[in-house]
Amino acid sequence: MQIIHKFAVGIYPKAKSVRSFFALKIVLQNVYIFFMINKHLQHINNQNDKDVFFFMKKIKVLFLCVHNSARSQMAEAFLNHLAGDQFEAESAGFEPAELNPLVVRAMAEVGIDISQKKSKAVFDLVKRGDFYAYVITVCDENTAERCPIFPGVTHRLHWSFQDPAAFTGTEEEKLEKVRILRAEIKKKIEEFIAEHGERVQ
């Protein structure tokens, strides 16, 4: 990723704004992802294993957001908690950051401990050669353009949720907003399970 960053910096003087720079960097990163996945798909085809998704014991789901510090972590935790016998969920982001402590606290309130979870970079999953039946972005509308794009998957979905990092107010007020977000994400996960869970072989 250092090469992509340097290349973007080299072109940056031609960019009109910082926003343009980040947009350029994301495009370059997505080109890299696409190249890596196509390369891996070619390897799978050579192994006569084109139907890899259909023989999964569990449906693999990847949740993506920018930092993998809140929304995607909550979605991953809820799906594994509520339907771990049917789905195998992971999460990642473009720019991994420390977990939001209010999110950790809110999830603990409902009996789900994510305190030991670490944010992950989407590129690490690409390098691992993993594939997913569903890739779900959970950015809010204002940052959707910065959400990672993960090519080569069966289904892509987008769920718009507010970023807890943008919540304002006292600590308790921000925690209450996180609780509301928690309920929204849980509801969406329950709907996803109801719609797609029966597809497990």
Token pair 């050579």 in the structure block, residue: 46
Among the listed residues 4, 130, 136, 12, the one whose alpha carbon sits nearest the alpha carbon of residue 63: 136
Residue % of the chain over a pLDDT of 70: 64
42 catalytically annotated: no
Indicate whether 141 pLDDT > 80. Answer: no
Q: Is 65 assigned a catalytic role?
A: yes
147 catalytic? Reply is: yes
Catalytic residue among 65, 107, 133, 175: 65
Question: Would you say residue 112 has pLDDT above 80?
Answer: yes
The ranges assigned to domains in the chain are 1-50, 51-199
Give the active site residue among 33, 147, 181, 189: 147
- Which pairs with CB-CB distance under 8 Å and at least 24 residues apart come from 36-45? 36/126, 36/127, 37/126, 37/150, 37/151, 37/152, 38/151, 38/152, 40/129, 40/131, 41/152, 43/129
Name the amino acid, one letter, at 108.
A
Active-site residue, from 139, 178, 181, 189:
139
CATH fourth-level superfamily of 51-199: Response regulator (3.40.50.2300)
Q: What is the mean pLDDT of the chain?
A: 79
CA 115/CA 58 separation, integer angstroms: 25
The model's pLDDT over 68-108, given as tens digits with 9 standing for 90+, comes to 999 999 999 999 999 999 999 999 998 899 999 999 999 99
CA–CA separation, 65 vs 11, rounded Å? 26
For the segment 3-11, the average pLDDT, to the nearest whole number, is 51
